[in-house]
A and B are shown apart, each in its own frame.
Chain A
Amino acid sequence: MILDLIAYGAFFLTTALTYAIMCLGLNVQWGQTGLFNVGVAGFVAVGAYVSALSTTPPLAGRFGGFGLPIVAGCLIAMVASGACAGLVGTITLRLRADYLAITTFGIAIAIELVALNAQSLTGGPFGIGFIPRPFGTLAPSPIVFDSANLALVAGVACLVFLAMERLARSPWGRVLRSIREDDAAAASLGKNPNRYRLQAFALGGSLMGLAGALQAHLIGFIAPDNYLPALTFQVWTMLIVGGAGSNAGAVAGAIVVWGLWSLSGLLTSLLLPGDQQARAASLQIVAIGVMLVVILLVRPRGLLGGSFRRRPPPNDGGSELDAGKLV
């Protein structure tokens, strides 16, 4: 019983930490630079699929299956997701702030369509199985397996966290925050805001890809259902709860929100009969949605956020100035 609990705890933390990596990616984009990304699920999906295709053994009738090592798969996933984000950024960052939101919303839908329909590339609705797991040989003993996974993911999350902390305090991080606060002032100091925005957006996207790849390798199986808009929404809630702008807040928010999510899932599965479970799952999403809005209204800085933010990000001023006319 105790061993089961420990194994479950390790499994829970492992999952929460993969979300923490997505949150750290979103924090670079939104928290540090003020870039609004509604397509988190899409970038996570690209990472998961690219790593899966790179590392699985070849399969007749499907592209990919290069049998590369897991580390290589994760790195390729980061490059692919980063490139994806870079492409979106190149098209939209020079435009009004909320066009980025709409475009990322669109690309997440497009990626979901490809995942669902391009059978020969993504396996369609059935997804991809037999993705190599880093400690697959330990699987018969859940507690050892889960602890090894936790150690691995905690190590990666720790590395990402330290790197992001370091970047946030570096001259590069200061430029990002200066762009967030006042891009005209940053430009007058010779910093090209759009170039820095693009870099931050691509970096954030590549972290989301890394998290997607890690999740794929931990579970060993991926399907389009894992990357619905609800995922984007969960990651946003985590960052807002933890506090946008703070890396520690991003990690804390991921653990807290994932804990609440798992707990409410556990409660509904205990309290409700089987045929009502699907309906209860939608009620769970309602609760998280309300939570996000309430936090935005009541405590917009989140649990640990707000150490940097003195003013709202600059993008809102932009849409004020160049909003269209009604003709």
Chain B
Amino acid sequence: MSLPQRFIDWFASRGWAPRAHQLAVLEHASARESVLLISPTGGGKTLAGFLPSLIEITGQIKAERSGIHTLYISPLKALAVDIARNLETPVNEMQLPVAIETRTGDTPHSKRLRQRQKPPDILITTPEQVSLLVADPHAAHMLKGLRTVILDELHSLVTSKRGVLLSLALSRVQAMAPEAIRIGLSATVADPDALRAWLVPSHMKPAPLVMGQPGARPNIRILSSVERVPWAGHSALYAVPEVYAEIRRARMTLVFVNTRSQAEVIFAALWDANDDHLPIALHHGSLDVAQRRKVEAAMGEGKLRAVVCTSTLELGIDWGDVDLVVHIGAPKGSSRLLQRIGRSNHKLDLPSEALLVPSNRFEVLECEAAIHAATINAQDTEYPVVMKLDVLAQHILGRACAGPFHPDELFGEITSAWTYRNLTRADFDKVVDYVATGGYALKAYERYAKLKRQPDGMLRLAHPRLALAYRLNMGTIVEDNMVKVRLAKVRRAQGRRTVTGGRVLGELDEWFLAYLRVGDTFLFTGQVLRFEGLDEFGALATRSADSEPKIPAFGGSKFPLSSYLSSLVRQVLAGNSGWSKLPPQVDQWLAIQRFKSMVPQPDQMLVETFPRAGRYYMVFYPFEGRLAHHTLGMLLTRRLERLGLQPTGFMASEYAVAIWALRDMSLAIGSGRLSLPHLFHEDMLGDDLEEWLAESAMMKRTFRNAAIIAGLIERRQPGKEKTPRQMTVNTDLIYDVLRSHQPDHILLRAAWDDAAEGLIDAHRLAVLLRRIRGQIMHRALDTASPLSVPVLLDISRESVYGEGHDALLAEAADDLIDEAMRLV
């Protein structure tokens, strides 16, 4: 299919020519072949995806069309709405007979019904809506004539359970519309072959790859501050005047930070410095949706000069003429940095401008590494998530909602998804059994089974009520326990103080609110608020006259340092990278380190031991990110305890781990009582890990998520909303009971897999331990080394040994008798 005249004219009328990658995608689609397009933002990627469908629909006779022609799937609801709006332009200008509609969680019931009767040609929707569509027996006919599925931002979808659920929904779509092809649109990724395979059914050849034209190389600088770069911390407040000066120079600036609390802190500081009253706004995931939409609209209209934001503005469409991206704190990954920088200057031929602001000295090293990675366009995106048993359970129930099914047939359909190509029949049957009756060895629920077996071997949903429960509870995004914060009014009448709630400001983590006492002040939505207590709807707060909040916002980056960047950071540290030039302050810091201790080579790991303030410290520097470090710290303290060195705490940062003990570890190493190769031996990943993990709070949280996704616990029951608090209590208790009575249950396995991959980073830890074998450099010092200062400064209220709370309870109660009287 070549470009029809109507389209050629339209391109010409805009002064454009169709780009090579747009035509290449069109060619593959015309040959009825799935295709993956990898292209940077601003390359006309969305149009490339839609072009084949627009041409094909235009060429069809209206009466011959049946149902939806093209399904466009976007990870963000807001993006879906915006894409629909943007697509209206070419459709109207060319006067194409193409009906475009959206279907998201916000779409009213009446519109859904109308879509069912009169499906649009192009339906723009989200992954969850596709699952709901294929689970609805009345909606299936809409997909019969489907020709094309367009998957936008595929790189971001495939790295989460959402992507896994979507891959299953697509296997169902494929069964209903075998003719349909898929067009994947993605930003640059580390492993395009994985995406090519993900995109098509597992028995087919990977989808061909079309590469868009690369943009101009970004222009990235590190802020060379006249101020002293802090030793530790994440606030980067030292740099605020300089960042403000950059904002004044630019037309519109996006200021990216890594966490919500950091966004609040930087936003407040910028307002303090804002002598010119520049319109500067704040945008992060805790803010009320209406508030966020307002900021986005203002940006689109060019009314703002700067927006302080988290990853909420990382994905998606153009928000206007951004000409500078400031990144506060280290970017943690090369691809993340490139993605964020891509938010500025959506014209391919002009370089994007970016400024990195390290918030401490280690981050200077990391920023150097990130700039190098970005210059050579190195990618470190994650590998797609595959085969999640909890997601499979959810899909199987959804399949049953659509009508009776035969397990053999469904197994074939599911293994046709690339993500489940290695699923065994035994595991599949276990998950089916779990969906039907809970999968318990004790057959207590046979008579209440959700799936009933028919004489012909088909499985049928036992009750239509279950389909309603599925619709209310489906999805893979399990919210943290968030609590709404409302602006309160305080009235005093007859000596009594009454607090009534007003406008919703946004949502905050429950753990943070639990920490507050009435009267405490904290920073939220860019203002200092006074906590007034909780009511049945959430938290109440009033505006405070204080300029400084009493409770500091806490937390560093929520993304761990990528493995790739970590290896570059070790090179920068060793000083032999050949491409980095460190600022004088940092150079001096490393020079003293070299004098007092040593600076390790990239393949070495330095371990330092020294006494300090009555305790004995061991600090080591693996540079493998906080998650892997936390796990390592937990396992090593257990080992040191067994060796009688009496560790009392540890601290894990992005770059280093510090453990402190009551016994002299320098002495123990010197005398040969403690062997470092032995301490860091890979065998810690066996029993030690399992023992710790099984008891850990982390495992319980992971289990809760798996239990919710797999439908063991209902998020919502028809008519009432269960509070997250109730759920947490229940799943913890369930975890304990299930673990002692049926340790091989499918949900425990699902949770275990999640924890090993995600929270504890066991794989990365294993790679680390292998890497440092024979490469551990020990230095016994008299005092703390310069390199150890940042992690020692981080040691604060966060440092607690183990996860058992008894030590803290005992300390708090000043009551050790019970402990001391124990015989074992």
**Do A and B share a complex?**
no
Which residues of chain B have a CB within 8 Å of any CB of chain A? none
